Chains A and B, each alone.
Chain A
């Protein structure tokens, strides 16, 4: 049985559709649900657009690496670019970054489920179910997990349409959209921009998927469309929140994007938010699976076992390790009800740093390599 357990096999290359779906769903993870509360002011709409533009520039830099021959070679490309020792060092760093991302994403989602759906349920059970499902999806291999991005995208993209009523009277209060020009720029506003930047992070993890995505010509196109759609969704959700709550009330409410859906009326169901929270699980699960695979790959590189075949026990072991870390953080360190707790803040900074540095470091390394040869 173990001989058939191949996680990193490749039979086909995934085109721009997958890149677009992956980039978009990676950027719409967790922070989108809390972001409006921290942006507050209407003029931050321009902030979202500006950071979105910077994100596009960053993607242009990233695309330089993704369209190089190093990228297609995957691990061997990294070794050629740096050296085996440096790659192992990066892998160790990567383990930390991915671990924090998986933990914060999962616990963030669990908190939403706990708060809105099952307030009396022990969160450990939810974490277990999410991790078990993530393991099942990931154990089908990287190729099939990437393929799931399309399903995740198609299953959830329409959710944005649910927010249309918030743009229409009598719900929409247009005066909430003013002032569009800031009177003064506070430190909080800069922090809001950092949050948008961090929320748009995620595409940098495409560097781990070298052998599976292509062709070169379509990578930038896929990423750009994905990024543009994400910025559009962020804008729609932020404006919807502003129109519905108004700035003064917006900063007082937790998970505004989820909360406002509670008030939608439907002849068949009330509390539509419960359906949408459940539905959103598909891309949370998909990304948990994807990051678990990246994490396992990073562990193999760090342990110098890249040439040994993948096996079920090893993968299960790494998933169990993540699960235990998650339980520990959830049990002792996660402060529920406080959206920007220390872990979310840590991930905020880590996401921003990885998104800024990964493309730049890779392109600089490529230039340096070219200069030497």
Chain B
């Protein structure tokens, strides 16, 4: 108890000290101390035509140096007015008082101006607007439809969304995350469509993030996830503004971070991870077929190799005679059990996949060839793996990539190994155990406190129109039920019927 009291007193003292520092008035000496050993920080002293002396404090790597001269130095030098700050033509000029305020502005690309005569401090936004151009999305490529993708600049990203949704109901709330990175976060939603409870949950979750480095979207989602230990992402990441605009229109929330080209979309369901923007470009029958193919591929990816192990280890009686001949012939001289044979081949495939991802593009193609042909062929000839397994590993490796979400692709790999272990112990029953526990796990997950396995559990029949099949767009007159949106109808005539 005594220790607790002591700790409370120490915390109180710490807070008081922090408050004192935060509210301490900004002075040139203090700023000199702050910028000590920062070689890119500059403190410049000049005089106006009237003889009023002023100082400029800035970090040259963060500001637009060309504009510094024309927008600040020249107007100030030529200023004849007593309050010379009025001569600055830049749009954002802010009066500052405390040292913490000064530091924050300086670190976000402002030039601090000190009027020696009146002892006033001003911050003028002159951020270096260096950014790459808007390019095609590399992670979610589509044949038809918009090609632009997000960049690292949050303003540009918000612009790309606003351009698609020119409505005043589109709200963008600002937050800051990361005690060291001070990353600007913006939460976008359409007021009057998005459920206010979900918006409040998201707002609360972002505000609660307490960490030093929030460098990219995954860092933030890690703190906002309802279930930290799950294999499945509870926020969808996208770099496509059209996907964001579509999600906003449905009543979801978008979270954008500065310095990252990926937006977070929530709440999502398991089934969203299988949807591609191109689903809404294709004819609905084709889109439905492709979507079904993705679910089937996911199922194949996690069960094909375990099924091989289950059948060859426990249930030979399940294999029809003709297939059994082929299998037996292929496995006769192998030194490993089906389980170890599969584990070795799967690990090799994973190594090849990882290597081809990390290598430069041209090298990765070579690795693909070496991996696919040389290792596969060599493994069979050396007697380490059966021909049947090589075929199955190939199919399952390709099936993995049919899921549009890369994070799910990686989760698939881990799931495959887990089910493989269960299959080696319990055969078909083990696979069933794995799948049932997977379903139970998915049923227990949530995204921003909304059920992750909706519209299957909880059951929303109406939302099945955009689940395994993608029904024609004119049929999708209502927003997803699981989002509990304020406005239910997507067509104007129905608004009155709510």
Contacts and interface: CB of A to CB of B under 8 A. Distances in A.
A150 B453 CA distance: 11
Contact of B440 (A17, A148, A154, A267): A148
B369 interface: no
Interface in B419-444: 426-429, 431-433, 436-437, 439-440, 443-444
A137 interface: yes
Interface in A180-197: none
A129 interface: yes
B444 A154 contact: no
Nearest to B436: A282
Contacts of A147: 443, 451, 453, 457-458
Contacts of A150: 456-459
Residue among B426, B449, B451, B457 facing the most chain A CB atoms (10 A cut-off): B457
B318 A270 contact: yes
A274 B444 contact: no
A117 B433 contact: no
A261 to B, nearest CB: 12
Contact of B315 (A11, A136, A155, A274): A274
A136 B440 contact: yes
Contact of B439 (A113, A271, A277, A282): A282
B319 interface: yes
B459 A133 contact: no
A303 B429 CA distance: 38
B131 interface: no
A14 B459 CA distance: 9
A106 B428 CA distance: 18
A140 interface: yes
A271 B311 CA distance: 11
Given A140-B440, A148-B439, A271-B318, A17 B433 contact: no
Contacts of A148: 439-440, 443, 457
B317 interface: yes
A271 B428 CA distance: 11
A296 B417 CA distance: 34
A268 B324 CA distance: 11
Contacts of A270: 317-320
Residue among B314, B317, B432 facing the most chain A CB atoms (10 A cut-off): B432
Nearest to A289: B440
Residue among B314, B426, B427 facing the most chain A CB atoms (10 A cut-off): B426
Q: How large is the interface on A (under 10, 10 to 19, 20 to 34, 35 or more residues)?
A: 20 to 34
Nearest to B449: A11
Contacts of A136: 437, 440
Interface string A269-281: 1110011011101
B424 to A, nearest CB: 13
B459 A117 contact: no
Interface of A is mostly: helix
A270 to B, nearest CB: 6
Contacts of A269: 318-320
Interface residues of B, number: 26
Given A17-B459, A129-B426, A270-B317, A279 B440 contact: no
Nearest to B311: A269
Given A136-B440, A271-B315, A151 B457 contact: yes
A18 interface: yes
Nearest to A269: B318
A151 B443 contact: yes
A113 B440 contact: no
Contacts of B317: 270-271
A113 B436 contact: no
B458 A151 contact: no
A291 to B, nearest CB: 16
Contacts of A274: 315, 318, 427-428
B459 A281 contact: no
Contacts, number: 82
A336 B378 CA distance: 50
Contacts of A151: 439, 443, 453, 456-457
Interface in B17-37: none
Contacts of B428: 117, 274-275, 278
B436 A285 contact: yes
B231 to A, nearest CB: 15
Nearest to A21: B459
A143 to B, nearest CB: 10
A17 B428 CA distance: 30
Nearest to A15: B459
A154 B456 contact: yes
Contacts of A140: 440, 443-444
B432 A281 contact: yes
Residue among A133, A147, A271 facing the most chain B CB atoms (10 A cut-off): A147
Residue among B428, B429, B439 facing the most chain A CB atoms (10 A cut-off): B429
A67 B34 CA distance: 70
Contacts of A285: 436, 440
A144 interface: yes
A308 interface: no
A149 to B, nearest CB: 8
A150 B428 CA distance: 23
B436 to A, nearest CB: 5
Interface in A1-36: 11-12, 14-15, 17-18
A267 to B, nearest CB: 7
A274 B432 CA distance: 11
Interface in A123-168: 129, 133, 136-137, 140, 144, 147-148, 150-151, 154-155
B429 A268 contact: no
A18 B440 contact: no
Contacts of B457: 147-148, 150-151
Given A18-B459, A278-B429, A268 B443 contact: no
A40 to B, nearest CB: 30
Contact of A117 (B320, B427, B449, B458): B427
A147 B445 CA distance: 12
A133 B422 CA distance: 13
Nearest to B422: A129
Nearest to A137: B440
Contacts of B429: 113, 117-118, 277-278, 281
A67 B226 CA distance: 34
A267 B320 contact: yes
Contact of A281 (B436, B444, B456): B436
Contacts of A17: 459
Nearest to B324: A270
A12 B458 contact: yes
Contacts of B440: 133, 136-137, 140, 148, 285
A154 B461 CA distance: 13
A277 B458 CA distance: 26
A278 B311 CA distance: 14
Contact of B433 (A12, A15, A118, A133): A133
A113 B458 CA distance: 31
Given A129-B433, A144-B443, 19 more contacts: A11-B449, A18-B459, A118-B314, A133-B433, A133-B436, A133-B440, A137-B437, A147-B443, A147-B458, A150-B456, A150-B457, A269-B319, A270-B319, A274-B315, A278-B428, A281-B429, A281-B432, A282-B439, A285-B436
Interface of A: 11-12, 14-15, 17-18, 113, 117-118, 129, 133, 136-137, 140, 144, 147-148, 150-151, 154-155, 267-271, 274-275, 277-279, 281-282, 285
22 contacts: A11-B449, A12-B458, A17-B459, A18-B459, A113-B429, A133-B433, A136-B437, A136-B440, A140-B443, A147-B451, A147-B453, A148-B443, A150-B458, A150-B459, A151-B439, A151-B456, A154-B456, A269-B320, A270-B320, A271-B317, A274-B315, A281-B433
Q: Which 6 A-B residue pairs are closest in the complex by CB-CB distance?
A: A278-B432, A140-B444, A147-B457, A271-B318, A137-B440, A150-B457
